[in-house]
Amino acid sequence: MISGASRGIGATAARLFAAAGYDLLLLARPSQEFDALAGELGQSGRRVETIGLDLGDPAAVGPGLDDLCGRGLIPSVVINNAGMAYTGPLAEMPLEQWQRVMQLNLTAVFQLCQALVPRLRAAGGGHIINVSSHAAHNAFPDWGAYCISKAGLVSLSRCLAAEERSHGIRVSTLTLGAVNTPLWESETVHSSFDRRAMLDVERAAEALLYLAQQPATLVVEDLTLMPAAGAF
């Protein structure tokens, strides 16, 4: 299962996992991009189930997941990839923007995990991989809400790992430096970074597959990838 699967890291990971022999459960907001990806992956020979779902709407998460998991596939690997950012000083950020960042980057992950953990327990275990950022461990001006949401995600991952270890559920965090994704083109993000120096989505997707393919007898608790040019 991959959230935020319509483009960027999520779409690239979906293609990579299908090529590696995985069936797919894909979540993303409804879009032509998502429909096109579903059609493309439908030709891969793997089973692909999709649902158009806005994880920014907390009331929609549970019913949407019940619909998707009710189609007969229970994920062995869950990749929480969906995310967003608003840039701007914390002192001036409207509450609505703060709440949406927290909902999409943190609370929706909690909701998905809470809904999926009973299913993973019943299946004998599984692997949850949460896509985080080096912003979780650093303070960047005008990125405060994003930094805080990702710091919360790291703590959520550690707590969930401790609680679910006895049930055979492993939890990993993929910590990424700046990645050249459509995030930088969104109306809510204002930056002038050189995107050519960023990580590319293929490397991030390969890291997700690497984590997923580790044997059940071990867990990589955190894997960090940074651009060679350093943090920005």
Start-to-end CA distance of the chain, whole Å, equals 30
Residue 92 contacts residue 147 (beta carbons within 8 Å): no
At 223 the three-state DSSP class reads strand
Please report whether residue 230 resides in a domain. no
The whole-number pLDDT of residue 232 equals 52
Tell me the pTM: 0.93
Mean pLDDT taken over the chain: 92
Q: Measure the CA–CA gap between 47 and 44, rounded to whole angstroms.
A: 8
Please report whether residue 187 resides in a domain. yes
Q: Which is nearest to 74 in space by CA: 118, 34, 39, 8?
A: 118
Q: Which is nearest to 173 in space by CA: 220, 222, 211?
A: 222
Residue 80 phi, psi dihedral angles, 5° rounding: -90, 100
pLDDT at 46 over 60: yes
The whole-number pLDDT of residue 192 equals 61
The domain spanning residue 186 has which CATH number?
A: 3.40.50.720
Q: Measure the CA–CA gap between 166 and 141, rounded to whole angstroms.
A: 40
The whole-number pLDDT of residue 227 equals 86
Please report whether residue 84 resides in a domain. yes
Q: Which is nearest to 128 in space by CA: 137, 116, 141, 140?
A: 116
Percent of the chain with pLDDT over 90: 81
The whole-number pLDDT of residue 191 equals 63
Domains held by the chain: number: 1
The whole-number pLDDT of residue 189 equals 61
Please report whether residue 232 resides in a domain. no
Q: Which domain holds residue 193?
A: 2-225
Please report whether residue 115 resides in a domain. yes
Please report whether residue 40 resides in a domain. yes
Residue entry with tokens 């999520």:
10
The whole-number pLDDT of residue 199 equals 85
Q: What is the pLDDT of residues 115-169, one digit of tens each?
A: 999 999 999 999 999 999 998 999 988 989 999 999 999 999 999 999 999 999 9
pLDDT at 193 over 80: no
Residue 103 DSSP code:
I
The whole-number pLDDT of residue 186 equals 62
Catalytic positions: 146
Residue 200 phi, psi dihedral angles, 5° rounding: -100, 160
Please report whether residue 231 resides in a domain. no
Q: What is the pLDDT of residues 215-231, one digit of tens each?
A: 999 999 999 999 887 65
Q: What is the pLDDT of residues 167-186, one digit of tens each?
A: 999 999 999 988 776 664 66
Half-sphere exposure of 108 (CA within 13 A, CB side): 33
Mean pLDDT of 30-52: 94
